[in-house]
Structure 1
Amino acid sequence: MTLSLSCFIGFRFSYGRSRRGMLSLIAVISTLGIAISIAVLIISLSAMNGFERELNQRVLAVVPHCEIEPVDQNWLQWKTALQIIEMVPGVAAAAPYITFTGLLESDSHKLAALQVKGVDTCLERRISSLSSYLQGSDWEKFLPGQSQVLLGKGVTERLHVNLGDWITMIVPYQNMEHKLSKPKYVRLQVTGILNFGGIRDYSLAYIPIIDAQKLLKIGNNITGIAIKAHQPFEAESLARQVGDRIDASVFLRSWISTYGYMYHDVQRIRTIIYLAIVLVIGVACFNIVSTLMMAVKDKCFEIAILRTLGAGDGLIRAIFMWYGVLLGGVVGSIIGISMGVLLSLKITSIMHVLEHLTGCRVLSGEIYFIDFLPAELQWFDVLMVFMASVALSLVATWYPARQAIRLQPAQVLSRQ
């Protein structure tokens, strides 16, 4: 009974008429301040979730989790090493690869220097989702001996080439004495365009591994072996285990050494945002303190009457606690969560529209691993923000409620 009565009176205090119009204005400003703070925090958390999702899907799904490269460039026993690697616990699959630097030239005399990677089409599908970034059956048609090349979308835009066009690849050649000689020129047809939506679109080209071996005249040799791990975040320890199993001097490298900074940056920013949740909403809740202090003065006559009718300290305290919670923790939170959820679900489309109108790219694919602003709404984050808002609004009511309890009914009523 006391709880329902205090809630009812607190609701009337919050949304009933006030003797001072300024009090209503300050209450509205306080509510909007909390709402905007909550909306911004939900959008920020959704953006961080989106970056983490894209990191897992676009980077970890394509980049090898571990790479093993021999110290001696002549690694003719790699097939035996491949079988040993796949038997190591934690290894999901492994595939050989060849990498070298090439210069691509289109018929319009546009140039692009990038890393060319030779892959085995059958084994590569086991360690990466590279084929999912091609259209139709382009991956199945990617066969050795056909003078084919797969290019990123950014490279095709830079070279002004389309699917089916021919380009010239210039490859520096090293003889057995590791001296540069006349470069090789080879004509290749663009049979597939990879659309990763990020920096990899501008830096990679793929050819069949057999064609790469013939082009470089290295026989059955390879550059290294790429490994897919069951647990990508344990890639460094897995690489060391694989190195211990192989009877050869090798270089060990994991995705954490090349792309791990992205994941750490996302986690660091997420931690900062969690801290900002408390600080920003806490600052907004200071407005509730000033609003409630003005409400105590505005409602002193009503408080005195309640005291005369027998209301105790607990009831008066509960009334102003409900007043503050309804003002900021409930109404402000609901408005802020509604705004944040709606904008988080549409933030990618909104940014595309703004980029189209302004002509400026927020995230350039030539610099970042994605070229759009992602967002993924998680209801746990929404619940956490709501609970933090309610808790801080509740804390903000303590001092005003204490001042309301100290009011003397006789002194207040004698002034009326």
Structure 2
Amino acid sequence: MKLPFSLFVGLRYTRAKRRDHFISFISLISMIGIALGVMVLITVMSVMNGFERELRDRILGMAPHVLISKYDGNIENWQELEKTVKQNPSIIGASPYISSETMFKHLGSDQFGMIQGVLPEKIGEVTIVKDNMRNGTFDTLTDGSYNIILGSSLARSLGANVGDKVTSLFLKQTRMSIAGIQPRAKRFTVTGIFETRSEADKSLAFVHLDDLAAVTHQRDGVSALQLKTVDVMQVHNVTTDISQNLGYEYYVTNWTRQHQTLFNAIDMEKKIMFILLTFIIAVAAFNIVTSLVMLVNEKQADIAILRTLGASPSSILRIFMTSGIINGLIGTGAGVILGVLLALNLPDIVSWIEVTFETNVFPKNVYFVNFLPTELIWDDVYKIALSAFGISVLATLYPSWKASRTQPAEALRYE
């Protein structure tokens, strides 16, 4: 296939041996620098995506996506409300609950927290707690049993294990006694411990909904109905639709009221990291400028001859742009391949390092995940590759323009 003149000559200049080997060395360094920059950027973005996914799954796995309550009290007929909201195709789960602030006491240890009365058969529809039981099961929460399931950190603080008795003081429910007004107290039997590696482990406990209703005298309904949606990131649209359908009697909110700031901070950090690491590619691109400037100076006589034979300034510009762009293309392509391979295999590499050197990179008692999560998003790869290639193209403009301005007579004066 016959190549265009500018492309043909540009490829020849790229492949040709230099009289000054330092030019070839600079070109190699520029390609390696771009490749390393792209590789690091893809890997770092994948790791940040992985941590964001773990945060989303663990935090939002315990927090309701949408929460419905009433302005003037409890929801009396939550079953009918559930049927109504489930007509929305975006709702895939619903669970009622009663909640109360409480003080847990066990063997002289006190811990403030929140106790939720739930239905064991429904709670799995909206949270991940049933899939993260360290001991016991939710099936032990039956009406009248007064069993309780504690978060792992809460159980550790109280020194409580399965089979122990834990006393719960309900600070907002009081009773009269000889000693005066005292908070209502109830003893529960620990039948399970869950561990989600989230904030819920520190302060949350579950009992059967009817048991908590009996203790707190909330027989007239439930505190709220929590919902799970198909797409947690589209929860605003779902909240608006439900609110319009239910009317002003109900208060409809979602997870963004409590956790949006955290995810905004993560998103901002990702953008800042992208900008900062892009400077690595920009620094490498300066080597393209250097190598092309040196190449233009070396090829002054060739440029003059080409101009004398009828080559236009724009053709000369395209010749040297081709040479620089190829360096950027090779560097970007190599960086994408290496970055994707590293991002996909990084968890295994970290595991190998931990086993080989008998170390723990992410101690379980310090971090909420004890492994290095990665998630490769191809949109990020495309953006990084285009950014790197774009910087490479920009780096070729000045040297190529300088070559196109070469005057044949001046260039051949001393030849």
Say whether the fold is shared (TM-score over 0.5). yes
1:32 aligns with 2:32: yes
Q: Which runs of 4+ in 1 moved over 6 A?
A: 176-179
- Structure 1 position 42, deviation (Å): 1.5
Contact 2:344 2:374 survives alignment (8 Å): yes
Structure 2: distance between partners of 1:110 and 1:3: 82
Counterpart position of 2:336: 337
Contact 1:121 1:139 survives alignment (8 Å): yes
1:100 maps to amino acid: S
Counterpart position of 1:189: 190
- Structure 1 position 51, deviation (Å): 4.3
2:401 maps to amino acid: R
SS at match of 1:64: coil
Which structure 2 residue ranges, 5 or more long, are not aligned? none
1:234 maps to amino acid: N
Counterpart position of 1:200: 200
- Structure 1 position 116, deviation (Å): 1.9
Indicate which of 221, 232, 235 corresponds to 1:232.
235
| Residue pairs, 1:1-400, within 5 angstroms | 3=3, 6-7=6-7, 9-14=9-14, 16-73=16-73, 76-79=76-79, 81-86=81-86, 91-105=91-105, 111-134=110-133, 138-159=137-158, 164-175=162-173, 181-194=182-195, 196-229=196-229, 231-238=234-241, 240-241=243-244, 244=247, 246=249, 251-272=251-272, 281-307=281-307, 311-327=311-327, 329-348=328-347, 357=359, 364=366, 373-400=372-399
Taking only the aligned residue pairs, the percentage that are identical comes to 27
Contact 2:170 2:184 survives alignment (8 Å): yes
- Structure 1 position 323, deviation (Å): 1.2
1:151 maps to amino acid: L
- Structure 1 position 413, deviation (Å): 4.4
- Structure 1 position 324, deviation (Å): 0.7
SS at match of 2:374: coil
Structure 1: distance between partners of 2:32 and 2:253: 51
Contact 1:92 1:229 survives alignment (8 Å): yes
Change in CA separation of 1:298 and 1:330 when aligned onto 2, cut-off 3 Å: same
Structure 1: distance between partners of 2:212 and 2:348: 41
1:171 maps to amino acid: L
Change in CA separation of 1:166 and 1:298 when aligned onto 2, cut-off 3 Å: farther
| Residue range with higher mean Cα deviation, 123-132 or 380-389 | 123-132
- Structure 1 position 234, deviation (Å): 2.2
Change in CA separation of 1:125 and 1:351 when aligned onto 2, cut-off 3 Å: same
Deviations 1:92-148 (A, max 9, x none): 4432101123344556x6554322222112222333443233379934454344443
Superposition RMSD in Å: 3.9
Deviations 1:246-272 (A, max 9, x none): 4xxx54432110122233334444555
| Residue range with higher mean Cα deviation, 217-226 or 394-403 | 217-226
Change in CA separation of 1:84 and 1:380 when aligned onto 2, cut-off 3 Å: closer
| Residue range with higher mean Cα deviation, 290-299 or 120-129 | 120-129
Structure 2: distance between partners of 1:56 and 1:69: 24
Change in CA separation of 1:274 and 1:180 when aligned onto 2, cut-off 3 Å: farther
Give the total of aligned pairs: 406
Structure 2: distance between partners of 1:87 and 1:358: 48
Deviations 1:143-190 (A, max 9, x none): 34444333334434545555x352523323444689961452514224
TM-score by length of 1: 0.79
Change in CA separation of 1:75 and 1:319 when aligned onto 2, cut-off 3 Å: closer
TM-score by length of 2: 0.79
Deviations 1:283-305 (A, max 9, x none): 54233222211121123344345
Change in CA separation of 1:298 and 1:180 when aligned onto 2, cut-off 3 Å: farther
